[in-house]
Structure formats: C-alpha cells, structure tokens
C-alpha cells in the first residue's frame, strides 16, 4: 500500500454491514478510499467503536493518515400511525394533519411536530414518504393543517415528512445526536457531518459543543439552507452536497445546477466540498455502474469537487471494493483529460489581499513556471495547505505537519497528501525535510525542483509568509 494516491479528488467510503471487518476495510483502503464515513443513523456505538479501532490500526500499519467522518442523523420528521397500518390517498381528496396521537385513517393522521405547523402557510407543499405523496396546504393553524392531495398513493406508518422551503424552528442536534457526538469525539473522529443545516446559527451551535475536537461538514440537504449558502460556507469547515434529500425537496432538474453552484461557492471560499448520494447506485447489486452514473461522478470531478462519496454502495452493497475501485478509475481518467485542467482553471477565485494568499497564489504560479514536481506546505492548523488546495495547482500538494489531527483532516482536501512529521527547528531544517520527504514518498526525483511555503516563526497558525524554491 503506497503513501501516494495518483489523483487529486478524494473518495469517501461509508462503512456498514458489507464493510466492517479488518479485511474488508483494508481492501477498501487499498482500492482507493481516503475518508471513511460512519453513519450514525444506523449501527450501535460498539459497532462504530470497532471500526474506529480497525482504521487507527490500519493507519499505524501503513503510515498514511486516514480521516474518519461521523455523520449525525439529525431530526427525523415523521407522521404517526394508521388504524390498519396503511391507507391509500387519492388526488383531489382532502387530508388533515394534526397533533392528535390517535391512529389515523384516510381522512387524517398525526404529525407530532408542532414546529412544522408553526412554519406552514396556505399554498405550501408537504411531501410524505420521500416525496412520493405530495400535499398542498389549504389552511393551517398552530395545531393542524388541512391539505389537498396533489399526488396520491399508498401511505403507511411513520413515513418521513419534508417541508420544502420552510425554515423550521428546530435544532439540527437531537438528544440522540448529542449523545452520538460525545461518543464520536471521545473516539477521536476527525470530521463531524451535521444534518438538517438550515442557517449559519446551526453551525455555531455544533461548534460550541465540539469545542475544537473535530472539524465540521455542513450537509446541504434543504433548499432553505441555500438561501444562506455563503454565510453557511463561511461558518463551516467543509460542505457536503446531500443530493438525496435535496432531490426530495427540489425538482429533480434543479439539483444539478444547485450542485454546481455549491461546488463553485466552496471552491471560491477555499472550503472542501463533497458530492454525495447515488453516485454509483446500481453497484449496490451489480458489478458495474451505468454509463450515466460514471458520467455523474466524472461531472463532479470536472467541476473540481474535493471528494465524491459512496453510501450504500460500500456500506451494504454486494460490491463495496469494486465500487471504490471504479470510482478511483473514473477520477484518475478524468484528471488525465486535457480538458479537465481547462475546466478547472476557468473557475478561479481572486486571492484575498493578505500575505498568506499572495504567497500561496505565487507558489502556484512559480510551480507552473519552473516545472516544479510538487508544492510543499508546512502547516500547524492546516490553513496554509487549504489555501494551496484552493488554487488547484497542476502539481501535487505535499503537506508536512507536526499535528496528526491536522494531517488526518487534510486528507479530505483536493490534491493534498498529508505527511505527519516532527517539528522543524529552523528554516534550513524545513528545506532539508521537504527535500527528503518528497524524494522518499515518490513526489520528486533527484534534481527536481520543489516550491515550499511556510509561516515563520514556525508553529504560528495562519502565518504563511515564506516561499522558497529548492532542488531535491
């Protein structure tokens, strides 16, 4: 198992029943998985703890940082039960929702979420069972809503409810999430994926609880969050385009342009962005994806996403390792395409008027001009390396850091190959270390040039102020 991936975009693989043993997880890593997702909507704490133990042992064995993401469940909005467990709704009929916990029928059912009634207005849409049932609100108050069935069909107990475009007075962190979060932090997870984000304040609430022990991924799965897109990106550490939930609350044809808008906004802000959900969905049961799925993954890579994600494909599917290997091949093929660099360079943010941004932008330009083999960044907090990643340089970014936590988190970032190492004591020590590591890890050959960025004095977070060209 080599240290280096021969690509820039990263792969997030979800662990589950099909990928829980040490042998299975090792095979996923060897096939190309960089970040491993623990889905806290499923599984017990003991299951997740065992997976963390396996991953940390694999990291120790390979000497390569491995990022662990915990994905919190978030609030689950569901209807109540029916007298016979199931009803049939017909278009044009009226159907009421209320707070009465009595079993429902084809006229009404309990919706035990007063927050929804407070947010509703006549004319609003309500979606049940992943959007299969569509209702239009005719009238409503704080305890009930009368609706017309627009799209009918069968409906059974405790199906999910979506309220498109409504801002609900709900915290993204339920009591279960808070317990899970504490457990995950105690296990040493690197990233916390936060579900049900609606506004920037939701990030602040989670950040206070996390208290610097992990970094945050805001899952954008509600159209209401898009109204606050820039503010959410500013508050979070990374973003996930959760297309499954977005696709329920938005028209399907609106999801692709929304995906591109989110990816572009994250790239301009220098925040890692993951494209997720149904990327190789058919590989849950088939050994090869559809051509449309291959094109979907490729599109995310062409757009410059930091990572693409597998969910059920690697967690519960019949071909978890093949799914990762296929995604690895798609990314590698796209990044060899001459058009890839043209598309990538077409979206390029303007550096902020700061010394760190000026140094990082110059590093990319210098690396191109002199034909450098790599850009080497020294970082404590990770900010120097994330700036380099935002530039999307045509050469690998080698991140040297004395912080194991920083190395693990930076695994997610585009083009970044983190290497934990001892602290450097002097400028000459820094240059010698950069030369030795690029040679050892196969990023450069003898006499190749490398571009080095760092902050002096060493150990000062965010103080990128040095650019150096060195020969290996």
Decide if 78 is catalytic: yes
Same domain, 420 and 445: yes
Decide if 329 is catalytic: no
Tell me, what CATH number does 429's domain have? 3.40.1380.20
Decide if 136 is catalytic: no
Residue that terminates a domain, selected from 297, 317, 340: 340
Catalytic-role residue among 147, 215, 236, 277: 277
Within-domain flag for 234: yes
Catalytic-role residue among 56, 62, 76, 78: 78
Within-domain flag for 100: yes
Within-domain flag for 348: no
Provide the domain count of the chain: 3
Same domain, 293 and 436: no
The whole-number pLDDT of residue 332 equals 98
Same domain, 122 and 214: no
Decide if 118 is catalytic: no
pLDDT tens for the chain, 472 residues long, are: 455 799 999 999 999 999 999 999 999 999 999 999 999 999 999 999 999 999 999 999 999 999 999 999 999 999 999 999 999 999 999 999 999 999 999 999 999 999 999 999 999 999 999 999 999 999 999 999 999 999 999 999 999 999 987 889 999 999 999 999 999 999 999 999 999 999 999 999 999 999 999 999 999 998 889 999 999 999 999 999 999 888 888 888 999 999 999 999 999 999 999 999 999 999 999 999 999 999 999 999 999 999 999 999 999 999 999 999 999 999 999 999 999 999 999 887 777 888 888 999 999 999 999 999 999 999 989 998 999 999 999 999 999 999 999 999 999 999 999 999 988 878 889 899 999 999 999 999 999 999 999 887 776 666 788 899 999 9
Query: pTM for this structure?
Result: 0.94
Catalytic-role residue among 219, 222, 267, 390: 219
Domain interval for residue 135: 86-162
Catalytic-role residue among 7, 10, 26, 37: 37
Same domain, 222 and 323: yes
Within-domain flag for 80: no
Same domain, 331 and 384: no
Same domain, 325 and 361: no
Same domain, 206 and 225: yes
Within-domain flag for 346: no
**In the 3-class helix/strand/coil scheme, how is the chain assigned residue by residue?**
CCCCCCCCCEEEEEECCCCCCHHHHHHHHHHCCCEEEEECCCCCHHHHHHHHHHHHHHHHHHCCCCEEEEECCCCCCECCCECCCEEEECCCCEEEEECCCCCECCCEEECCCHHHHHHCCCCCEEEECCCCEEEEEEEECCCEEEEEEEECEEEECCCEEECCCCCCCCCCCCHHHHHHHHHHHHHCCCEEEECCCCCHHHHHHHHHHHCCCCEEEEEECCHHHHCCHHHHHHHCCEEEEEHHHHHHHCCHHHHHHHHHHHHHHHHHHCCCEEEECCCCHHHHCCCCCCHHHHHHHHHHHHCCCCEEEECHHHHCCCCHHHHHHHHHHHHHHHHHCHHHHHHHHHCCCCCCCCHHHHHHHHHHHHHHHHCCCEEEEECCCCHHHHHHHHCCCCCCEEEEECCHHHHHHHCCCCCEEEEECCCCCCHHHHHHHHHHHHHHCCCCCCCCEEEEEECCCCCCCCCCCEEEEEEC
Same domain, 146 and 208: no
The whole-number pLDDT of residue 275 equals 98
Within-domain flag for 347: no
Tell me, what CATH number does 58's domain have? 3.20.20.60
């Amino acid at each position: 198992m080599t240290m280096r991936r021969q690509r820039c975009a990263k792969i997030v693989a979800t662990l589950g029943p099909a990928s829980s043993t040490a042998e299975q997880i090792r095979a996923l890593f060897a096939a190309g998985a960089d970040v491993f997702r623990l889905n806290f909507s499923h599984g017990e704490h003991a299951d997740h703890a065992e997976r963390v133990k396996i991953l940390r042992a694999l990291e120790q064995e390979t000497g390569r940082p491995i990022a662990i993401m915990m994905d919190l469940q978030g609030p689950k909005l569901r209807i109540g039960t029916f007298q016979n467990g199931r009803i049939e709704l017909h278009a044009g009929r009226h159907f009421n929702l209320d707070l009465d916990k009595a079993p429902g029928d084809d006229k009404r059912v309990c919706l035990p979420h007063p927050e929804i009634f407070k947010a509703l207005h006549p004319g609003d849409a309500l979606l049940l069972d992943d959007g299969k049932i569509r209702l239009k609100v005719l009238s409503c108050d704080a305890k009930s809503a009368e609706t017309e069935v627009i799209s009918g069909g069968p409906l059974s107990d405790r199906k999910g409810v979506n309220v498109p475009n409504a801002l609900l007075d709900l915290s993204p962190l339920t009591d279960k999430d808070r317990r899970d979060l504490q457990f995950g932090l105690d296990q040493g997870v690197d990233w916390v994926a936060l579900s049900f984000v609606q506004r920037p304040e939701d990030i602040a609430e989670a950040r206070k609880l996390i208290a610097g022990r992990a970094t945050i991924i805001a899952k954008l799965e509600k159209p209401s969050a898009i109204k606050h897109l820039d503010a959410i990106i500013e508050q979070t550490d990374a973003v996930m385009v959760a297309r499954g939930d977005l696709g329920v609350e938005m028209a399907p044809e609106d999801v692709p342009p929304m995906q591109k808008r989110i990816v572009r906004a994250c790239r301009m802000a220098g925040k890692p962005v993951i494209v997720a959900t149904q990327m190789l969905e058919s590989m849950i049961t088939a050994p090869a994806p559809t051509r449309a799925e291959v094109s979907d993954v490729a599109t995310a890579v062409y757009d410059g996403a930091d990572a693409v994600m597998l969910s059920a494909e690697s967690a519960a599917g019949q071909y978890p390792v093949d799914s990762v290997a296929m995604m690895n091949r798609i990314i590698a093929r796209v990044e060899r395409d001459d058009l890839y660099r043209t598309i990538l360079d077409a979206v390029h943010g303007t550096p902020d008027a700061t010394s760190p941004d000026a140094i990082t932008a110059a590093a990319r330009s210098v690396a191109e001009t002199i034909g450098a083999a790599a850009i080497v960044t020294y970082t404590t907090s990770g900010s120097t390396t994330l700036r380099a990643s935002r530039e999307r340089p045509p050469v690998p970014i080698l991140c040297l850091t004395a912080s194991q936590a920083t190395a693990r988190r930076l695994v997610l970032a585009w083009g970044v190959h983190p290497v934990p190492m001892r602290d450097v004591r002097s400028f000459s020590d820094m240059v010698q270390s950069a030369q030795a590591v690029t040679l050892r890890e196969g990023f450069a050959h003898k006499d190749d040039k490398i571009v080095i960025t760092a902050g002096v004095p060493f150990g000062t977070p965010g103080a990128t102020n040095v650019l150096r060209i060195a020969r290996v």
